[in-house]
């Protein structure tokens, strides 16, 4: 039976300072996403973009949580849409936009399964921890707080979507590929007892071992897990067009292996790909890589 996939774009860039990620959903679509998913045998529909606010029309507001009302509104719209996609029997595929949108994606998945007395897990593929709060943030950018918000730490406008927090239990949450953490994030992640696999863990153990353990953690006593892929998870040599590029990330093949193992698990509940910045890209090759990784996550095999 063909996998039902529903695509939605969230061209939001209010969660960070560097402009351009608002064009990420278009860049990934231009890279042939729809046709290649259909070629994989998926039954696909592109639902267009969630309505978002633009920086040109807004004031940043609180310097410790910039554009908070506008981001919260977009995340609520996205969460409602994600719930409807799952209700319709489809896998939500969310294209960002900056990483603040993850609050909407995972909240929608969590709320759907919570109504059925089931928990969900979360695998966060990222160079960064995204575990700051307004009290610790050096920038006030909410894309650096998204994971903390999902685990119940941060502005109430984001933590309390649907009236409960946390959306994901720390025991079901795993970060993979981290290689750039702010000191306060390290302390908060340890306090929350979130499992963190750094690039050193991947270097020493290999991607397969790390991702298999991540899948086991996120699948334990859950309905399955969300995957949030920040393209800066991949080394900047392979993915130059990202919101916050950092050297020392996953290689091309390591990234594919991670998503292939996730597909093999059969436990994927939603997939989002964020922080594609065409302004910084080279002939759209980061968006093309995003499409390739999406295909791997949805079951494409080499042989």
pLDDT of the chain, 303 residues: tens digit per residue:
469 999 999 999 999 988 899 999 999 999 999 999 999 999 999 999 999 998 887 889 999 999 999 999 999 999 999 999 999 999 999 999 999 999 999 999 999 999 999 999 999 999 999 999 999 999 999 999 999 999 999 999 999 999 999 999 999 999 999 999 999 999 999 999 999 999 999 999 999 999 999 999 999 999 999 999 999 999 999 999 998 888 999 999 999 999 999 999 999 999 999 999 999 999 999 999 999 999 999 999 998
SS3 7: strand
Q: Which two tokens stand for residue 129?
A: 């921890």
The residue to which tokens 């109504």 are assigned: 115
- Note whether 173 and 218 are within 8 A (CB): yes
Give the Cα separation of 141 and 266 in Å (integer).
Answer: 34
Catalytic residue among 70, 98, 128, 288: 128
- The H or E element that residue 273 is part of is strand 268-274
99 tagged catalytic: yes
98 tagged catalytic: no
* 4-297 topology per CATH: 3.40.800
Catalytic residue among 70, 98, 232, 272: 232
Domain locations along the chain: 4-297
The pTM (predicted TM-score) of the whole model is 0.97
């Amino acid at each position: 039976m063909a996998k039902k996939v529903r695509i939605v774009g969230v061209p939001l860039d209010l969660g960070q300072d560097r402009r351009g990620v608002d064009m990420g959903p278009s860049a990934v679509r231009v890279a042939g996403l729809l046709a290649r998913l259909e070629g994989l045998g998926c039954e696909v529909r592109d639902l267009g973009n969630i309505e978002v606010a633009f920086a040109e029309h807004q004031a940043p507001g609180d310097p410790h949580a910039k554009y908070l009302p506008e981001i919260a509104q977009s995340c609520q719209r996205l969460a409602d849409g994600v719930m409807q996609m799952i209700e319709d029997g489809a896998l939500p595929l969310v294209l960002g936009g900056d990483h603040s949108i993850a609050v909407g994606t995972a909240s929608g998945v969590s709320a759907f399964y919570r109504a059925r007395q089931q928990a969900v897990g979360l695998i966060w593929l990222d160079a960064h921890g995204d575990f700051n709060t307004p009290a610790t943030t050096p920038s006030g950018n909410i894309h650096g707080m998204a994971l903390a918000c999902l685990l119940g730490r941060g502005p109430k406008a984001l933590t309390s979507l649907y009236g409960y927090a946390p959306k994901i239990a720390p025991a079901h949450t795993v970060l993979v590929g981290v290689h750039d953490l702010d000191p306060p994030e390290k302390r908060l992640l340890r306090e929350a007892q979130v499992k963190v696999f750094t690039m050193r863990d991947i270097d020493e153990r290999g991607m397969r071992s790390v991702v298999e353990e991540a899948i086991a953690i996120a699948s334990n006593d859950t309905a399955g897990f969300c995957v949030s892929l920040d393209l800066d998870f991949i080394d900047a040599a392979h993915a130059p067009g990202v919101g916050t590029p950092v050297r020392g990330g996953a290689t091309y093949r390591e990234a594919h292996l991670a998503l292939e193992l996730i597909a093999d698990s059969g436990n994927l509940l939603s997939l989002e790909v964020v922080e594609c910045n065409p302004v910084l890209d080279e002939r759209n090759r980061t968006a093309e890589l995003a499409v390739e990784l999406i295909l791997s996550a949805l079951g494409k095999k080499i042989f």
